[in-house]
Amino acid sequence: MLIALAFAPVAHSADFALNAGAIEVVALPPPQHAGLYLYAGGSLAFVVPHAVLIPSLALEWSPDQLRGGLVLSLAVDFPLGDRLGVDLNLTLIHDQAGTDFAHALFFLGAGPGLTIFFGKQAISPYLSVFYGLNAPGWSLVPGINFSSVL
């Protein structure tokens, strides 16, 4: 699927946006707080037939867990009109304490979202389920993203 997306025809050039947001990680089971993370990064939006593909890269940091890392994601936005879209999100997170890359954790997640557009700005609440690729268990991750096209 990713190969098909990589070669999908682009209707116009990509729009670059700055993104910032926050997520709450709830480890399962049982439900327990696993960190509040803040993130900032950039994204590109490519219009394809019936959707918008939005790959992004961000830096994340948890002030309460003292962990950070990189977030790579792909959102597929299905416009419902000029101001609203339904999203499907796929995310890979790298998370580590300080500079301890040898003990970095990796998580793969997916879930739905909603984007509300205000001209060049947008707000996107979402909910994803993550699985630890090298860590035990699952997590439920509600989040909110703010973006502004440059």
The DSSP output letter for 63 is T
Identify the pLDDT of residue 4. Answer: 39
**The predicted structure's pLDDT at residue 115:** 97
Residues in the chain where the model's pLDDT stays below 70:
1-12
**Residues 121/142, Cβ–Cβ less than 8 Å:** no
- The per-residue pLDDT for range 16-49, each reduced to its tens digit, is 999 999 999 999 989 999 999 999 999 999 999 9
Residue 8: the pLDDT is 43
Element (H, E) at 3: helix 2-6
> What's the confidence (pLDDT) of residue 9?
47
Task: Please choose, from the candidates 14, 15, 33, the residue with its C-alpha nearest in 3D space to the C-alpha of residue 24.
Answer: 33
| DSSP string across 112-124 | EEEEEEETTEEEE
Domain boundaries, given as residue ranges, for the chain: 42-149
